[in-house]
Chain A
Amino acid sequence: MENALRLLRRNGAVVVLILILVAVSTAAPGILRWRAINGLLQDNAPLLILIVGATLPILLGCLDLSIAAMASLAAVVAAMLSPVLGSASVPVVVAGAAAIGGLQGYLIGRLQVPSFVISLGALGIFKGIAMYLTAANMVGITPGIWIYDLLGSRSFGMSNSFLLVLITAGLFAAMLRFTNLGRNIYAFGANEIAVYISGVRRDLVRSFAFAASAGCAALGGIMMISQTMFASATVANSLLLPALVGVVVGGTAISGGVGGVLSSLIGGLIAILIRVGVTISGLPPESQDVAFGITILIAVALTTDRAKIGVVK
């Protein structure tokens, strides 16, 4: 029984993905056509990149609730900077977001405040600033900027945004597997105190994870505006719940130490198919959030290591 449970935990995401794919494609066989798949991946590349980034804080046992608000803010700022900086607006915004994320990570240790509170505060701040900057209007990006055109188009028949998701996920997966930082991230999630006593700079590890999560979020916001060509203060706000669903359904435990970026990508595909499933079943679009809410409850209940957190509050 315990072995079966462990096996399900390790490969559960793949099984769920196949089941849900079979269910959805039975109802709507068209979904399996290359064009449909490609379109789905292109539309959902922003969600997937958020999922890739959000995995890192969760591997530590932390939670970054500010990712969707950061994506919206980054979209707004990138759009406003595009006439001035052109293509350079993208690296500038991503680097700025990573710096702010790193600061969030640092503040968790410095102020001794749990990550979900710090990032909830950040969520409010980012949302407010985005609203203030746009005065609740749409901001268009200047057409003809190379980098936005690139992100909005395709190479080898695949969306460039989705290719960027794959490259980023590959880089993070390699970092987690082959670098000292990656080793420290997993160990931090397994026992933060022991890792601290072992002489690891836990403040740096935490800052890196939150910088990565914020940087990816900004990239997600930029991918969105490269498709729509305009930004609004709330453009990415609905992505928070599906992004967290993707990470935990993929098998990264919110108690930390277990999981990875590639499993999160599988979780992301599941989240996309849940969306599709809700749409083709004829339910109103609002039921998406209900579906995601139920999914995250089930996934967390199945994957959390309660021995580690002691008291559940």
Chain B
Amino acid sequence: MTTAFSLEGISKRFGEVTALDNVSLELNEGEVLGLIGQNGSGKSTIMKVMAGLHRPDTGIIRVGGKVVQLRSPLEAAQAGIGLVHQEQSLITSLTVAENLFLDKPAGSTSLGFYRWANLRDRAKHQLDKVELDIDPFTPVSELSFGQRQIVELAKVLSLEELVHGHMVILFDEPTAVLNPPEIQALFGQIRRIKHRSSVVFVSHRMDEILEISDRVYVMSDGRNVATRDKEHVNVDELYELMVGKQRVNRTDRKPREAHIGAEPALTLKNVTVPGEIDDISLTLAPGEILGLIGVQGSGAETILRTIFGIADEWQGKIEYFGAPLTIDSPAEAVAKGIGYLPAERKTEGMIRNTSVSENVAITYGWQHGRGAGLISRGKERGMIEGWVRKLAIKTPSIGHRIDNLSGGNQQKVVLSKWLFGKTLKVLMLDHPTRGLDPGARGDLFAVIRELADQGLAILLVGDTLDEVLTLSDEIIVMKDGRVSARITDVQAAPPSEEELVKAMV
């Protein structure tokens, strides 16, 4: 077999985070390589490097044995590499035909004007290749998600006429929005194009990877930890490999002794958000830490956002200390004693260009004021400095801008906003340790445990397996919007990491 494409010793860092650490990859002609790994394992980064969207810090890329530089998606396309986007990259208000040739240097134009008849013919030819029987002049907005994904494929396959030789087609989680028949149609297309292309296929779902791939490539913590031929795949081994460094050290482990209240603080009964979560039930008591985990798009975040009043229309029943809960806005949630630490720290968590103290005091500062809406910065100052000491926030002063702090310290500031009040009963943490270094993670873990010991009910969406295993009293694993596993009494009898991964993918 000939190697069509290879990466040799590719590394890529983003600030303090190493996304890819000396990764090599070989892709043979006519093969489908299944790329699998947890959130943050480096799958997306490696795809972006191959598609010319990221430039690696070190390492070599070869196409057909020749060393190439992929400085832009256009250069990647000229080398025969095309990325079928995960997020729909089509412009929905334009027609299928226009979208197909939007990114091509040789569009059907003459002096800048479309030659519509020519455009229709060429588009028809591309759509025939993927067996999509629609009028090329249909606006994309009228297509189903499955059809759009096929158009995305056609857009990439139209490279065929522009490059000589072999092609490399990259699929970044193409099945996320598709239903089973649409997935099968897509797989049919992938098998069909194998005669003149190699395929890299990323998915969160193990069954899909096993079905379509000739080889499986496992990533963990920015490294390639194994490559297995289809014939020699051991699924349990794959789960084990995916866990990677996220293993809890069981000998040093200190189980938490929880004092869980008898009456639940929060009860969800059959809560459904169409298209996101389906029939979710759970209870959370004061003093308890309930950990949710799932791959991207599993719906775990949606549960938190629904409770906080910022999700779409939902059905079902939510009870809060025995009474029905109806919340339309975060302001109502906060008034009732529910707090939410968002995953998107920069856009939803911190108030940029503002001091540490204003970030801490924004929600509950008024509770320490003089009444009548007057705030007392003097009184706040002492309390904020107390939290800065307690959470070991590294900042020159509380008047310092939050933008200049490190990620971990920013996160601690955003967390202290919720600890600043007197009325908080339930705290929801959405990926609280995302992007933090190990030291900051450990600090944050300690704080979260202490808060639960003080009687706060905590609902947590974990970034990693060890996070939920270390913190939670109960774990709920989410997959495709549903609960796929429920593990109680985690501190006394922790499940294995593989058990969680298996329920996730």
Binding site for B on A (CB under 8 A): 178-181, 183-184, 186-187, 190-191, 193-201, 257-258, 305, 308
**Inside 8 A of B375's CB, which chain A residues have their CB?**
178-180, 183
Docked CA distance A184–B354 (Å): 12
Docked CA distance A36–B205 (Å): 79
**Inside 8 A of A183's CB, which chain B residues have their CB?**
358, 361-362, 365, 375
**One of B293-301, B329-337, B389-397, B487-495 contacting the partner:** B329-337
Given A180-B375, A199-B331, are A191 and B365 also a contact pair (CB < 8 Å)? Answer: no
Docked CA distance A190–B374 (Å): 21
Query: Which residue on chain B has the smallest CB distance to residue A199?
Result: B334
The answer to the question of B431 belonging to the interface, with a C-beta cut-off of 8 Å to chain A, is no
**One of B68-76, B265-273, B344-352, B469-477 contacting the partner:** B344-352
**Inside 8 A of B351's CB, which chain A residues have their CB?**
187, 190-191, 194-195, 198
Asked whether, in the complex, the Cβ of B417 is within 8 Å of the Cβ of A198, the reply is: yes
Q: How far is the CB of A147 from chain B (nearest CB, A)?
A: 28
Query: Which residue on chain B has the smallest CB distance to residue A305?
Result: B353
Candidates A179, A187, A197, A201; contact of B340 at CB < 8 Å: A197
Asked whether, in the complex, the Cβ of B358 is within 8 Å of the Cβ of A186, the reply is: yes
Asked whether, in the complex, the Cβ of B347 is within 8 Å of the Cβ of A193, the reply is: yes
Asked whether, in the complex, the Cβ of A179 is within 8 Å of the Cβ of B374, the reply is: yes
Asked whether, in the complex, the Cβ of B362 is within 8 Å of the Cβ of A197, the reply is: no
Docked CA distance A181–B347 (Å): 22
Chain B contacts with A in 284-339, Cβ cutoff 8 A = 308, 310, 329-331, 333-335, 339
Query: Which residue on chain B has the smallest CB distance to residue A178?
Result: B374
Chain B contacts with A in 361-382, Cβ cutoff 8 A = 361-363, 365-366, 369, 373-375
Asked whether, in the complex, the Cβ of A195 is within 8 Å of the Cβ of B362, the reply is: yes
Asked whether, in the complex, the Cβ of B363 is within 8 Å of the Cβ of A186, the reply is: no
Docked CA distance A19–B363 (Å): 43
Asked whether, in the complex, the Cβ of B350 is within 8 Å of the Cβ of A194, the reply is: yes
Candidates B308, B347, B361, B365; contact of A194 at CB < 8 Å: B347
Can you name 29 A-B residue pairings with CB atoms under 8 Å? A178-B374, A179-B373, A179-B374, A179-B375, A180-B369, A183-B361, A183-B365, A183-B375, A186-B358, A187-B354, A193-B347, A194-B348, A194-B349, A194-B350, A194-B351, A195-B351, A196-B330, A197-B308, A197-B310, A197-B342, A197-B348, A197-B349, A198-B351, A198-B363, A199-B334, A200-B362, A257-B354, A258-B353, A308-B352
Asked whether, in the complex, the Cβ of A190 is within 8 Å of the Cβ of B373, the reply is: no
Given A178-B374, A193-B347, are A199 and B333 also a contact pair (CB < 8 Å)? Answer: yes
Docked CA distance A199–B339 (Å): 8
Number of A-B residue pairs having CB atoms within 8 Å of each other in the complex = 76
Candidates B339, B350, B366; contact of A191 at CB < 8 Å: B350
**Inside 8 A of A196's CB, which chain B residues have their CB?**
329-330
Asked whether, in the complex, the Cβ of A257 is within 8 Å of the Cβ of B330, the reply is: no
**Inside 8 A of A180's CB, which chain B residues have their CB?**
365-366, 369, 373-375
Query: Which residue on chain A has the smallest CB distance to residue B339?
Result: A199
**Inside 8 A of A308's CB, which chain B residues have their CB?**
352-353
Docked CA distance A22–B264 (Å): 71
Scoring B308, B340, B373, B417 by chain A CB atoms within 10 A of each residue's CB, the highest score goes to B373
Query: Which residue on chain B has the smallest CB distance to residue A188?
Result: B351
**Inside 8 A of B347's CB, which chain A residues have their CB?**
191, 193-194
Given A179-B375, A195-B351, are A200 and B342 also a contact pair (CB < 8 Å)? Answer: no
**Inside 8 A of A201's CB, which chain B residues have their CB?**
329, 331
**Inside 8 A of B362's CB, which chain A residues have their CB?**
183-184, 187, 195, 198, 200
Given A193-B347, A197-B348, are A186 and B366 also a contact pair (CB < 8 Å)? Answer: no
The number of residues on chain B lying at the interface, defined by a beta carbon within 8 Å of a beta carbon of chain A, is 30
19 further A-B contacts with Cβ under 8 Å, apart from A180-B374, A200-B331, A201-B331, are A178-B374, A180-B375, A183-B358, A183-B361, A186-B354, A186-B358, A187-B358, A190-B353, A191-B350, A191-B351, A194-B347, A194-B351, A196-B329, A198-B417, A199-B339, A200-B362, A200-B363, A201-B329, A305-B353
Q: How far is the CB of A194 from chain B (nearest CB, A)?
A: 5
Query: Which residue on chain B has the smallest CB distance to residue A175?
Result: B373
Query: Which residue on chain A has the smallest CB distance to residue B342?
Result: A197
The 10 closest A-B pairs by CB, nearest first: A199-B334, A180-B366, A191-B351, A198-B363, A179-B373, A201-B331, A199-B330, A198-B362, A190-B351, A194-B351
Docked CA distance A258–B355 (Å): 12
**Inside 8 A of B353's CB, which chain A residues have their CB?**
190, 257-258, 305, 308
**Inside 8 A of A258's CB, which chain B residues have their CB?**
353
Docked CA distance A305–B403 (Å): 14
Given A183-B362, A199-B363, A201-B331, are A190 and B352 also a contact pair (CB < 8 Å)? Answer: yes
Asked whether, in the complex, the Cβ of A198 is within 8 Å of the Cβ of B330, the reply is: yes
Query: Which residue on chain A has the smallest CB distance to residue B372?
Result: A179
Q: Interface code B46-69, partner A: CB below 8 Å = 1, 0 otherwise?
A: 000000000000000000000000
Docked CA distance A33–B163 (Å): 80
Query: Which residue on chain B has the smallest CB distance to residue A184?
Result: B362
**Inside 8 A of B363's CB, which chain A residues have their CB?**
198-200
Docked CA distance A271–B373 (Å): 34
**Inside 8 A of B350's CB, which chain A residues have their CB?**
191, 194
Q: How far is the CB of A270 from chain B (nearest CB, A)?
A: 25
**Inside 8 A of A181's CB, which chain B residues have their CB?**
373
**Inside 8 A of B333's CB, which chain A residues have their CB?**
199
Scoring A191, A195, A196 by chain B CB atoms within 10 A of each residue's CB, the highest score goes to A191
Docked CA distance A186–B354 (Å): 9
Query: Which residue on chain B has the smallest CB distance to residue A194?
Result: B351
Docked CA distance A193–B340 (Å): 13
Docked CA distance A175–B438 (Å): 43
Query: Which residue on chain B has the smallest CB distance to residue A202?
Result: B331
Docked CA distance A311–B329 (Å): 28
Q: How far is the CB of B140 from chain A (nearest CB, A)?
A: 22
Query: Which residue on chain A has the smallest CB distance to residue B376?
Result: A178
Docked CA distance A178–B366 (Å): 11
Q: Interface code B253-267, partner A: CB below 8 Å = 1, 0 otherwise?
A: 000000000000000
Docked CA distance A188–B503 (Å): 41
**Inside 8 A of A193's CB, which chain B residues have their CB?**
347-348
Docked CA distance A193–B352 (Å): 11
